[in-house]
Structure 1
């Protein structure tokens, strides 16, 4: 029955290809994100019919805006791969089609301003289907993971930027990309950097948006990659009138900008933070902050405008902070608030039947001590956690409002 519904859905999609009158009508951020995070796309898992339907939609949007097709087959750049069985092995691309092979599809549109350099603006559009590897949903009954924030939100903002840039800032060309295979290990962006469909020597810088749909009331926005070119920190600060910016200089992180940084291209990555619905079926459109997404799109547009006459930005290597992350054998069972800039580690969500829940910890608690270790930030929290093994018992101290609460933990 699901396949029949999807076929009917795709038929409607093709039949609804816009006419010339509709081509001039802009599509809203809400319309784009609602389409991509609809149940009909069944979670957009890489290689599925739902992901292909999303790819067709994005290609149609590129065509509607008059972007030039810049894939290897129209707007599409397909790549075949076998999923990793060992997390340390490299994925092999372009294997023969057959058992265990998956086809990913990058969707690529180009705005040619006859400029020397090209800015790459991207967001991944794949997600977890009915709960692929990486899902944090623990119920036995399968449910669709729509990934409205992760990452229909980034694609919708990318499409909104394409609409804005059609008639502004002609100092660069623009390559707009929707990446496949991000959830399986940055596969689409990695493949593109090794098989670019433009002259990669003329790539200026890359902007990535991943989970930009849940801007909180305090307007906190994380911006990564500030150290990847000398001018970026200044430009990000100078154009900010609305956000509380959490700065991160590193060009390495768990999203597609990393692939471009590793190819010596300056990057900026935008992120509004994790939440309790991350990688769960509850990540749906109605929970998004659409006005916040529009605000972020405007902010990125202002940054691009400021850099329009700067020529090609110089690249600078940054410290790989992920190399300093301690390894740990246990988990507290919480979603950290990565945008918290106070002292301690703020809890943004609690997982069922895990040590934190059993100890009575609550969303909003700020962990200030774990065992004998003081917790002042995310890194000190991870160092403290790395000292424990399964079965260990200890104490945790959290700040709850103005009070400090101590609780017993067992890992």
Structure 2
């Protein structure tokens, strides 16, 4: 009798342990992935392998079916580069100078005719190097927002979608190699572990951890299907300020799926002063905001559960319209700003903006004789100036217009 009681108690303890693993919070997921012990999760390193193992374990205990080529893992070989003007490239087979990246893939099989792909990249910049904006030597780039935040939201969606919205299957992918040029997502679409013809749409989350006080959420890819615009606004119960972007092309993993004629949505809460720096840490994230975004995306998926396969629509590549310019103002634009002008989200040390006294929050209205009404007009204005040239820049600060002299 006693042995039966002990066995019963062990089973209860094991069950509780399993439930505890399934109920890991987004904050706990970010804390693990963005810890110093993972040394920035650079693609091809042993530390990224640790992160991949953690994610495979999370998928397992969430009840997801393994959908890689080796359990939850899909390996690919790539050749890194130290040339800032070249990207790393995926290669066939291993050899001298090659490294291995690992996508982590889990699946909810509802025996449906269509599949929704939900993805986020889990790699980051390691100790810095190419892509880092840090100027103080080697340091751990934890990448809490970029992109432990997206992975944490993806894991929450995996938990929330079990036995729910069963008219679709769900493929969850933690991509490797995004920072090196979308290596993992590009490899996956060329070597898919499900039939891409059955994929109805793809949702990507890259940097969703800094929802601001204005509740502004950028959504890219709105033009890639006729249903997106109506669906986005019909499900905005939280009163998010949606900054729409039509193009399916952008510097994140949704691009790889758009190129395969799959409708995409990419969610993004904006750049900030810690972007690609060692200061992008877990304690700076807005976890309540992440919860809001996760619920918003779940509402969208729920709304589309009884739809047939979504129609795909090609969009204009917005990046092709960006003019070339020889000078820089030395600011980080606020890509979430939806008002008139270009709002400054950060300024770089020892650059023209700082020397002229411009500050975070200033809204650029005019550069020389050129009006600035949005991001594109700002870039077009900037392209008119030459190094050494001085111009009067008009900005709005605290509701008042002021002029400063800027030397490029």
Structure 2 distance, partners of 1:172, 1:59, is 22
Q: Indicate the residue corresponding to 2:390 in structure 1.
A: 393
Q: Indicate the residue corresponding to 1:311 in structure 2.
A: 308
Where 2:354 maps in the other structure, the secondary structure is: helix
- 8 Å contact from structure 1 (residues 95, 101) kept in 2: no
Q: Indicate the residue corresponding to 2:165 in structure 1.
A: 169
Q: Indicate the residue corresponding to 1:53 in structure 2.
A: 50
Which deviations, in whole Å up to 9, do the C-alpha atoms of 1:136-171 show, x marking residues without a partner? 1112x3211111001000000000000000121000
**For 1:318-333, what aligned pairs fall within 5 Å after superposition?**
318-333=315-330
Asked if residue 119 in structure 1 is aligned to residue 109 in structure 2, the reply is no
Q: Indicate the residue corresponding to 2:76 in structure 1.
A: 79
Where 1:221 maps in the other structure, the secondary structure is: strand
Aligned counterpart for 1:155 among listed residues 151, 154, 165 = 151
Aligned counterpart for 1:218 among listed residues 207, 210, 214 = 214
- 8 Å contact from structure 1 (residues 23, 65) kept in 2: no
- 8 Å contact from structure 2 (residues 88, 180) kept in 1: no
Structure 1 distance, partners of 2:129, 2:194, is 33
Q: Indicate the residue corresponding to 1:241 in structure 2.
A: 237
Shift of residue 90, structure 1, vs aligned partner: 7.3
Where 1:286 maps in the other structure, the secondary structure is: helix
Asked if residue 143 in structure 1 is aligned to residue 146 in structure 2, the reply is no
Shift of residue 386, structure 1, vs aligned partner: 1.3
Aligned counterpart for 1:280 among listed residues 277, 280, 284 = 277
Where 2:171 maps in the other structure, the secondary structure is: strand
Q: Indicate the residue corresponding to 1:198 in structure 2.
A: 194
Q: Indicate the residue corresponding to 2:369 in structure 1.
A: 372
Asked if residue 131 in structure 1 is aligned to residue 128 in structure 2, the reply is yes
Which deviations, in whole Å up to 9, do the C-alpha atoms of 1:252-299 show, x marking residues without a partner? 111110110000000011111111111111111111000100110001
Which deviations, in whole Å up to 9, do the C-alpha atoms of 1:326-363 show, x marking residues without a partner? 11222211111001111110001111111111111101
Q: Is the radius of gyration larger for structure 1 or structure 2? A: 2
Change (3 A) 1:89 1:44: closer
Where 2:222 maps in the other structure, the secondary structure is: coil
Shift of residue 390, structure 1, vs aligned partner: 2.5
Q: Indicate the residue corresponding to 2:27 in structure 1.
A: 30
Q: Indicate the residue corresponding to 1:8 in structure 2.
A: none
Change (3 A) 1:261 1:386: same
- 8 Å contact from structure 2 (residues 41, 124) kept in 1: yes
Shift of residue 84, structure 1, vs aligned partner: 4.8
More divergent stretch after superposition (287-296 vs 222-231)? 222-231
- 8 Å contact from structure 2 (residues 330, 353) kept in 1: yes
More divergent stretch after superposition (387-396 vs 272-281)? 387-396
- 8 Å contact from structure 2 (residues 84, 130) kept in 1: no
Q: Which runs of 5+ in 1 are unaligned?
A: 1-17
Shift of residue 101, structure 1, vs aligned partner: 1.4
Q: Indicate the residue corresponding to 1:7 in structure 2.
A: none
Structure 1 distance, partners of 2:146, 2:294, is 16
- 8 Å contact from structure 1 (residues 43, 127) kept in 2: yes
Q: Indicate the residue corresponding to 1:6 in structure 2.
A: none
Shift of residue 94, structure 1, vs aligned partner: 3.2
Q: Indicate the residue corresponding to 2:16 in structure 1.
A: 21
Structure 2 distance, partners of 1:41, 1:133, is 18
Which deviations, in whole Å up to 9, do the C-alpha atoms of 1:39-65 show, x marking residues without a partner? 111111111122111111110000011
